[in-house]
Structure 1
Amino acid sequence: MSATAVWSVDPRTGKRRERVATEATPAGVDRAVRAAHAARESLADRTVRAAFLRAAADLLDASADEVVATADAETALGTPRLTGELARTTAQLRSFAEVVEEGSFLDVRIDLPDPSAVPPRPDLRRWKIPLGVVAVYAASNFPLAFSVPGGDTASALAAGCPVVVKAHPDHPATSELTAGLLRRAAASRGLPEDVVVLLHGFEAGVELVRHPLVAAAGFTGSVRGGRALFDAAAARPVPIPFHGELGSLNPVVVTTAAAAEKAEEIGAGLAGSMTLGGGQFCTKPGFVLAPAGADGDRFLDALAKGVGQAGPAVLLDHRMRAAFVDGVTERAALDGVEAPVVPGAAGEHAVTAGVLTVDAARLADGGHGLLLEECFGPVTVVARYADESQIAAVLALLPGNLTATLHIAGEDEVAAPLLAALTPLAGRVLVNGWPTGVAVAPAQHHGGPYPATTSTSTSVGATAVERWLRPVTYQSTPQHLLPPELRDGNPLGLPRR
Structure 2
Amino acid sequence: MAAAPVWSVDPRTGKQREQVAVEATVQDVDAAVRAAHGARGALADRGVRSAFLRTAVHRLEAAKDRLVETADAESALGSIRLSGELARTCYQLRAFADIVDEGAFLDVIIDHPDDAAIPPVPDLRRYKVPLGVVAVYSASNFPFAFSVAGGDTASAFAAGCPVVVKAHPDHPALSELVAGVLREAAAEHGIPEGVLGLVHGFEAGVELIRHPLVAAAGFTGSVRGGRALFDAAAARPVPIPFHGELGSLNPVLVTEAAAAERAEAIGTGLAGSMTLGVGQFCVKPGLVLVPAGAAGDGLVKSLTDAVGGTEAGVLLDHRMRDDFLAGVSERAGLPDVEAPVTPGAGGEHTVSAGFLTVPAERLAEEGAYDVLLEECFGPVTVVARYESEDEATAVLSRLPGNLTATVHVSAQEAAGEGRGPDLLAALTPLAGRVLVNGWPTGVAVAPAQHHGGPYPATTSTSTSVGGTAIERWLRPVTYQNAPEALLPPELRDDNPLGLPRRFDGRLER
TM interval, short-chain normalised:
over 0.9
- Once the two structures are superposed, residues 330-365 of structure 1 have per-residue CA deviations (whole angstroms, 9 ceiling, x without a partner) of 000001000000000112100000010000011113
Q: Residue 505 of structure 2 aligns with which residue?
A: none
Q: Residue 339 of structure 2 aligns with which residue?
A: 339
Q: Residue 501 of structure 2 aligns with which residue?
A: 496
Q: 2:118, 2:432 → 1: CA distance?
A: 40
Q: Residue 196 of structure 1 aligns with which residue?
A: 196
C-alpha displacement of 1:411 = 2.3
Q: Residue 252 of structure 1 aligns with which residue?
A: 252
Q: 1:115, 1:422 → 2: CA distance?
A: 47
- Once the two structures are superposed, residues 356-383 of structure 1 have per-residue CA deviations (whole angstroms, 9 ceiling, x without a partner) of 0000011113340000000000000000
Q: Residue 99 of structure 1 aligns with which residue?
A: 99
Q: Residue 134 of structure 1 aligns with which residue?
A: 134
Q: Residue 506 of structure 2 aligns with which residue?
A: none
Q: 2:366, 2:387 → 1: CA distance?
A: 16
Q: Residue 443 of structure 2 aligns with which residue?
A: 438
Q: 2:240, 2:290 → 1: CA distance?
A: 42
One-letter code aligned to 2:29: V
- Once the two structures are superposed, residues 155-191 of structure 1 have per-residue CA deviations (whole angstroms, 9 ceiling, x without a partner) of 0000000000000000000000000000000001111
Identity, in percent, stands at 74
Q: Residue 490 of structure 2 aligns with which residue?
A: 485
Q: Residue 370 of structure 2 aligns with which residue?
A: 369
C-alpha displacement of 1:309 = 1.3
Q: Residue 419 of structure 1 aligns with which residue?
A: 424
The answer to which of 229-238 and 184-193 deviates more is: 184-193
Q: Residue 25 of structure 2 aligns with which residue?
A: 25
Query: What does 1:383-402 correspond to in 2, within 5 Å?
Result: 383-402=384-403
Query: What does 1:58-97 correspond to in 2, within 5 Å?
Result: 58-97=58-97
C-alpha displacement of 1:414 = 1.7
Q: Residue 355 of structure 2 aligns with which residue?
A: 355
Q: 1:401, 1:441 → 2: CA distance?
A: 20
Q: 1:115, 1:293 → 2: CA distance?
A: 70
Is 1:409 aligned with 2:431?
Answer: no
State the secondary structure of the residue aligned to 1:24: coil
Q: 1:364, 1:282 → 2: CA distance?
A: 24
C-alpha displacement of 1:305 = 1.1
Q: 2:303, 2:40 → 1: CA distance?
A: 51
Q: 1:481, 1:123 → 2: CA distance?
A: 14
State the secondary structure of the residue aligned to 1:298: helix
One-letter code aligned to 2:267: G
State the secondary structure of the residue aligned to 2:161: coil
- Once the two structures are superposed, residues 180-208 of structure 1 have per-residue CA deviations (whole angstroms, 9 ceiling, x without a partner) of 00000000111111111110000000000
One-letter code aligned to 2:440: P
State the secondary structure of the residue aligned to 1:411: helix
Is 1:291 aligned with 2:275?
Answer: no
One-letter code aligned to 1:376: F
C-alpha displacement of 1:229 = 0.2
Q: 1:347, 1:307 → 2: CA distance?
A: 17
Is 1:319 aligned with 2:319?
Answer: yes
Q: 2:235, 2:121 → 1: CA distance?
A: 39
Q: 1:37, 1:123 → 2: CA distance?
A: 33
One-letter code aligned to 1:194: G
Q: 2:97, 2:194 → 1: CA distance?
A: 19
Q: 1:448 is matched with which residue: 446, 453, 474?
A: 453
Q: Residue 380 of structure 1 aligns with which residue?
A: 381
C-alpha displacement of 1:489 = 1.2
State the secondary structure of the residue aligned to 2:501: coil
The root-mean-square deviation of aligned C-alpha atoms, in Å, is 0.6
- Once the two structures are superposed, residues 87-128 of structure 1 have per-residue CA deviations (whole angstroms, 9 ceiling, x without a partner) of 000000000000000000000001110011111110000000
One-letter code aligned to 1:275: T
Is 1:464 aligned with 2:469?
Answer: yes
State the secondary structure of the residue aligned to 1:161: coil
- Once the two structures are superposed, residues 454-483 of structure 1 have per-residue CA deviations (whole angstroms, 9 ceiling, x without a partner) of 000000000000000000000000011100
Return 5+ residue gaps in structure 1 as ranges: none
One-letter code aligned to 1:472: V
One-letter code aligned to 2:490: E
One-letter code aligned to 1:70: T
State the secondary structure of the residue aligned to 1:224: helix
Q: 1:310, 1:466 → 2: CA distance?
A: 41
C-alpha displacement of 1:410 = 1.4
